[in-house]
Each structure stands twice: as structure tokens, then as C-alpha cells.
Structure 1
Amino acid sequence: MRLGLTPHPDFPADAITALEVEIARAGPERLELVYRVRGDIAGLLVPATADAERTDGLWASTCFELFAKPAGGEAYCEFNFAPSSQWAAYAFDEYRAGMRELALETPAIDMLATDDAFELRVAVEASALRAGAHMAVTAVVEEASGARSYWSVRHAPGKPDFHHAESFAIEAPANEVGE
């Protein structure tokens, strides 16, 4: 499935002309995501490559995110993927409450960049990603000016809030036949 993300209306992007994500099922609890950013890539602050390790606070700069919530529940998970290859994963009991680290094997994160585009490829496995889960696919993009834009398939009213129930607008794809 391919989805276009839009910037929050109060935080437009200057350097980006388009941001989309492609999501594919790669196993019962595994998703592969390809985030594609088009525009003036030199005008963005993209973290330098680092060790692929769990790191808090990635959302404070350019970071690509995935939130997943089982159908009918209040608990959800947040996954952060940085172009540096650093990552984070958290579990919440309900809206912004009960936050704790989510046990997760290191996701595969690769970045390809040109002058006018870059792709962040991610493969992540977690029980929260089972078919039928509701997801929010989001991104925070920081520009060289320091301005940030907040991208999502659907924005809740008010300030940017990817944790808001209205952001969980996508259903995780079903398993492929034979899995």
C-alpha cells in the first residue's frame, strides 16, 4: 500500500514537495516501510549515519515514525526510525500514559539520498504490527533553518499530535497467502 503524507497546516514545509510511504507485509508481525521524501534535500537537516542503536529523543530532528494499536484497544506502540539508523520503540497503556521501552530487535534501516530525494527503508517486527492493527504513519522533518514540519496521513485537530486516536487512520495490511 502506498500513502501520501501531508504536513500539519500550522507547520508547512519549505524544502519538501512530497512525502509518501509504501507499506508491505513481510510476515505475520513484520512490516517493510519505504519513506520517500522529495524536494531540496540539501535544505533538510538529516542526521549523519551512526550505530544502529536504541536512542531516545529522535523525534526532535528528522525522524520517521509508525504508531500501531490493536483494533478495539487503548494500548499502542510507537516506533521511531532516524536516517542515522538509530531507532526507538515504546509501548503505551493508553493515550500518552504508561510509556515504557518496547522490547524489539534492532530494525533494519537504510537510507539512499540524491539531490532531490531520499528514501528511508525500514524492516521492523513486533506483535503490534499484526494484520488489522490500526496505524499512524508519520514523520518529523527538520530544515536547515531549524523549522520543523509534521507529516501524517491524517492530522487531529489542534497542534501536531501523532498519539491522538484520529491519527490511527490506516489498517495494517493482511498477511500474504501461505503465511
Structure 2
Amino acid sequence: MQAHRLIPHPAHPPLAVTAIEARIHDDDANWLRLRWKVEGAQKLVLPRIGSKTRADGLWRTTCFELFLQPEGGAGYSEWNLSPSRRWNAYDFVEYREGMAERVVRRAPDSQVHPGSSFTIFYAAIPRSELPDAPCRMSISAVIEEEGGRISYWAIQHPNDEKPDFHDPACFVAGLAAPHAS
């Protein structure tokens, strides 16, 4: 299991959220299991829970994201996972170029558990939908709080002027190739 403390982008501070920790459980041969714990979530805005369908623009409100880039490659994938259960995945041939919806045969699953002072978001992505190679990884979150306040959280922010989760310098974590079953 990997744990990563996310930090807010300095140009977009949160209202009440005090910390976000992302955990990756990579010991399951069939699913990549992820968990984000949002501390200070009393003013967190959660989209209404709906059907598990693909949707665009999820990052405009509270959304959790995973970026994977196979070692040695320029291309990468982006997974957007919403507390609404909606999701999307995109492939890029290089930094912000050649964006296309990723072909996904089996959708990810997610659930949210709001609490009085923290919220936990769980997601599981089928391993069959992920690269079959070691990857560089970036984990992030877009957090909307009351009044429309948006903060951008990542393991690392290479640019203090504007958040950019696609920046190659954000890919600071690693994900091993899936175990052979």
C-alpha cells in the first residue's frame, strides 16, 4: 500500500479542507483500489450520486484523479472519478496532446462516505483497463467547497501560478506492473 499526502495549489487555497491523503492498494491482481480521505470536509460540495456512467467535465466540481504513464513512454492516461459514481478516462500521446477517450470495457466503481469532519472516497479500477507495465503516477483531487471555492490538490505542484496535473513533474509516484494471475 502506498500513502501520499496531497497539498493544495498555493494560488487556490481551500476554504475548510485541511488535508487530503490518497492511498493506493496495489496488492489485488484484479483491481487497483484507491482511497482519498478529505479532512475538514464540513463545507465540501459533493455531486449528487447517480448512475455509474461515463461523463465529461467531472473536474468542474469535487473529483478525484489518477494519471498513469508507462515507464519510458511519452503517452499517459487520465482517470476522472467522481463521488457521483460518474467517471471518465482519457489517453494522451504526450503532454496535453492527442487527447482521446480511453477505450474501457469494464467501468471503474466508486463510493463516497461523508462524515462529520472527514469524507472518504473509494474507487476501484479494473486492472485489465490499466497499462500492463510499471508506470509513473500522479494522484490528485479537485475539491469544491461551499460558495464555489475550488482547490486543486496533488502530490506535487511544479508551477505556483496555475495548477496543472498533466505536467510531467507531477508524476512523482510509481505503480508496479500488475501481478501475473
- What is the TM-score with the length of structure 2 in the denominator? 0.91
Aligned-pair Cα RMSD in Å: 1.6
1:156-175 to 2 correspondences below 5 Å = 156-157=158-159, 158-173=161-176, 175=178
**1:137 lines up with 2:139 in the alignment:** yes
Could you list the runs of 5+ residues in structure 1 that have no partner in the other structure? none
Q: CA contact under 8 A between 1:110 and 1:121: conserved in structure 2?
A: yes
Instruction: Please state how far the C-alpha of 1:127 moved relative to its aligned partner.
Output: 2.7
151-160 or 23-32, larger mean C-alpha shift:
23-32
CA-to-aligned-CA distance 1:85-125 (integer Å, 9 cap, x gap): 10000001111111111112210101111111111111102
Could you list the runs of 5+ residues in structure 2 that have no partner in the other structure? none
2:154 to 148, 152, 155: 152
Aligned partner letter, 1:162: F
- What is the TM-score with the length of structure 1 in the denominator? 0.92
1:127 to 110, 126, 130: 130
Matched residues, number:
176
Q: Distance in 1 between matches of 2:137 and 2:69?
A: 6
Instruction: Please state how far the C-alpha of 1:29 moved relative to its aligned partner.
Output: 6.9
Report what 1:60 is aligned to: 60
Q: Distance in 1 between matches of 2:35 and 2:176?
A: 15
Report what 2:86 is aligned to: 86
Instruction: Please state how far the C-alpha of 1:131 moved relative to its aligned partner.
Output: 5.2
Report what 2:99 is aligned to: 99
- Rate the CA distance shift 1:110–1:80 in 2: closer, same or farther, 3 A: same
